[in-house]
């Protein structure tokens, strides 16, 4: 099926090819991804753009933060994905990161307690996902460097306090993000070419659902944004809804888990290889060890193949849950 790409896509592609920095390349690629029509004819191209975005994001993180305009902090991505928490003061971001990770997070009942980004690792099934606690979006001292970390994340976790008016909070959050040229995928967008605007996947999390007025406020939130964004209800303090939230985060990461095995042995189900959706056998080999990629002759796949143990080439596209056996 032909891709049938619109003229705006090719304009964004020209900007991508002339971009000088990893950040500029990511912005152009995200614009291309947003403009691209969604159908089977664009599946492989969509996967390729996502791989390029991941590559340039890694390049951006390797660059010294001191040399990056407006950025004083950098959080190196670890685990299967980087989730950056955003919200207003006292929404419960720090409490959530403290509850789900081993990070030493200060949890306080006064606003603006978080002054710098604080990462921690959250376990989900057999993988680790990075959560990054952040200062409130309205913290003016954090403004010069906040935007970079939001733009370089895999997913934004937008935290709403269900004890307060959720729609007013969302209006404020969306305005602050717009000011940093960050837009949530799923929200209304203009037809203009959005070069310079980072389009981010987001999970909308209503926190403090144990409060008396939480159900009413959550219904307001869900009715306004539920058809645009993934929305879940939790209590970070009580531990309610956290597993559902973890699953929602995983679903937004656009990753697959594949498992390796040695000839004659069972698959290692404890240590999956985490790959971007659309990744190939060659990319899986490279993520395991550079010698695997260098010396790889072929691989066998259990799962997505036409039959178990199917012999496949380097370019074979893997699917979630596949078992792969490398032959070198």
For the chain, the farthest-separated pair of C-alpha atoms sits apart, in whole angstroms, at 62
Give CATH for domain 68-252: 3.40.50.300
Nearest by Cα to 272 from 221, 317, 323? 323
pTM recorded for the entire structure:
0.77
Please list the pLDDT of the chain residue by residue as tens digits (328 residues): 456 788 888 888 888 888 888 877 887 887 788 778 777 777 788 888 888 888 887 777 666 543 344 445 678 888 999 999 999 999 999 999 999 998 776 665 555 555 688 899 999 989 999 999 998 888 777 666 788 889 889 999 999 999 999 999 999 999 999 888 899 998 865 545 566 788 899 999 999 999 999 999 999 999 999 999 999 999 999 999 999 999 999 999 989 999 999 888 888 888 899 998 889 999 999 888 877 778 888 899 999 888 899 999 988 999 999 999 998 8
For residue 244, count other CB atoms closer than 10 A to its CB: 12
- What 3-state DSSP class applies to 306? coil
Domain locations along the chain: 7-62, 68-252, 255-327
User: Could you tell me if 132 and 75 are in contact, meaning their C-beta atoms sit under 8 angstroms apart?
Assistant: yes
Specify whether domain 255-327 bears CATH 2.40.160.40: no
List the alpha helices (DSSP H) in 109-241. Answer: 143-151, 166-179, 214-225
């Amino acid at each position: 099926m032909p891709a049938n790409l619109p003229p705006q896509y090719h304009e964004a592609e020209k900007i991508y090819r002339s971009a000088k920095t990893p950040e500029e390349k990511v912005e152009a690629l995200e614009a291309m991804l947003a403009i691209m029509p969604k159908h089977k004819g664009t599946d492989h191209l969509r996967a390729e753009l996502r791989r390029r975005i991941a590559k340039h994001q890694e390049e951006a993180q390797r660059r010294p933060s001191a040399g990056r305009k407006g950025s004083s902090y950098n959080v190196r991505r670890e685990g299967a994905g980087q989730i950056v928490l955003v919200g207003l003061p006292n929404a419960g971001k720090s409490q959530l990161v403290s509850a789900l990770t081993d990070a030493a997070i200060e949890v306080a009942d006064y606003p603006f307690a978080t002054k710098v980004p604080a990462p921690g690792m959250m376990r989900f099934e057999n993988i680790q996902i990075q959560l990054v606690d952040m200062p409130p979006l309205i913290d003016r001292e954090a403004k010069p460097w906040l935007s970079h970390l939001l733009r370089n994340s895999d997913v934004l976790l937008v935290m709403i306090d269900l004890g307060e008016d959720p729609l007013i909070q969302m209006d404020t959050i969306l305005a602050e993000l717009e000011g940093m040229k960050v837009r949530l995928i799923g929200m209304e967008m203009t037809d203009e070419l959005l070069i310079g605007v980072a389009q981010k996947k987001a999970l909308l999390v209503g926190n403090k659902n144990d409060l008396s007025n939480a159900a009413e406020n959550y219904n307001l939130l869900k009715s306004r944004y539920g058809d645009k964004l993934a929305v879940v209800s939790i209590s970070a303090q009580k531990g309610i809804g956290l597993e559902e939230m973890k699953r929602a985060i995983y679903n937004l990461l656009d990753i697959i888990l594949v498992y390796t095995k040695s000839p004659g042995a069972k698959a290692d189900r404890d240590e999956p290889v985490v790959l971007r959706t659309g990744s190939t056998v060659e990319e899986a080999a490279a993520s395991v060890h550079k010698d695997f990629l260098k010396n790889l002759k072929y691989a066998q796949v259990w799962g997505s193949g036409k039959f178990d143990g199917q012999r496949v080439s380097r370019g074979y596209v893997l699917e979630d849950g596949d078992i792969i056996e490398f032959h070198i």
